[in-house]
Amino acid sequence: MTNTPKLAIAIGYIDDDLVTSAIEYDQINTMNIRRRQICRRPAFMRNWSRLGVTVACLCFVLVLSGFAVLAMSLSDNLPAIDSSDIKYEENEHSNIGIYSTTDAFDVFGSFEPNGTLSGKSSTEDLYSFSLDKGESKTLSITASNGQFTAEQDIIELAITSQGNVLFQYICEDVTDKKELANFSSTENINRVLSNLNPEHKYEVTVINLGITDLTLNISINSHHYGCGEIILK
């Protein structure tokens, strides 16, 4: 065997028991592997079946929700969403936090149209007025009088649009000549002006773009008596 490596020939002379043990080890090992596979099989099957059930449930839920959405979108008798449930609590300033109104705030309620908001009353006593179709009102807000605290005192404006009346809301910092908000809506809104600069003057203009009346509620929540005024133009 001239072409066969001599070491390959020599390996043929290794002890018989080594050769036998290699074959027997194969058999034992193969048996063990098969036994292990058999032992593991139920666990695998269990896991796969669990996974299958989970996937099936998810698919069922997805299909069901898809059908529900489709049915709702096609249905003419959709339940109307009560727009009064939607509350907007937005700050007109970019660096403002939203303040809790759970504290016993003082509210200035004795408001006279075309006059100054002054006096002290309960939180329920908000001034309310309506805008005829096409009418606009501008509220000139000055949070001054030396006691207004920017971090504590806020001005709330609630606009109730009955019958989905379209209106435009514009809020601007007159002193800085900066527009803080400008949008149109047909739904009720609840605006909060907070972190106001006591030395600045603000104006809120509401224009009724709809064909029916629009109701506005205004309140100032302040920790201090006698600070702030709203002048209705």
Partner 1 sequence: MDDLEIIELYFARNEKAIEETDKKYGKLCFRVANNILINDEDSEECVNDTYLSVWNKIPPTRPKCFMAFICQIVRFLSMKKLDFNSALKRSQDITISYSDLEDVLPSDHFSTEWEYADVGKIISKFLRQEKEESRNVFIRKYYFFDSISDIAERYSFTESKVKNMLYHTRIKLRECLKKEGIEV
Contact status: 18 vs partner 1 (CB under 8 A): yes
Q: Closer CB to partner 1, residue 6 or residue 177?
A: 6
Q: Give the residue from 126, 128, 147, 132 showing the smallest Cα distance to 226.
A: 147
Q: How far is the CB of 33 from partner 1 (least distance, A)?
A: 5
Contact status: 8 vs partner 1 (CB under 8 A): yes
Stretch of 20-28, 81-89, 92-100, 184-192 lying at the interface with partner 1 (CB under 8 A): 20-28
Contact status: 110 vs partner 1 (CB under 8 A): no
The site for partner 1, by CB under 8 A, has a size of 28
Task: Return all residues near 225 (Cβ < 8 A) that are at least 6 apart.
Answer: 106, 120, 147
Q: How far is the CB of 59 from partner 1 (least distance, A)?
A: 36
Taking residues 26 to 65 in sequence order and writing x for each that binds partner 1 by CB under 8 A, - otherwise, the string is x--xx--x--------------------------------
Q: Are 218 and 156 in contact (CB under 8 A)?
A: yes
Q: Report the distance separating Cα 210 and Cα 77, nearest Å.
A: 25
Q: Are 105 and 148 in contact (CB under 8 A)?
A: no
Contact status: 21 vs partner 1 (CB under 8 A): yes
Q: What is the largest CA-CA distance in the chain?
A: 121
Task: Return all residues near 6 (Cβ < 8 A) that are at least 6 apart.
Answer: none
Q: Closer CB to partner 1, residue 16 or residue 85?
A: 16
Q: Report the distance separating Cα 120 and Cα 108, nearest Å.
A: 5
Q: How far is the CB of 28 from partner 1 (least distance, A)?
A: 10
Supply 84's token pair.
């009064």
Q: How far is the CB of 21 from partner 1 (least distance, A)?
A: 7
* Count of CB atoms situated within 10 Å of the CB of 38: 9
For partner 1, the binding residue among 17, 82, 85, 103 (CB under 8 A) is 17
By the criterion CB under 8 A, which residues form the site for partner 1?
1-23, 25-26, 29-30, 33
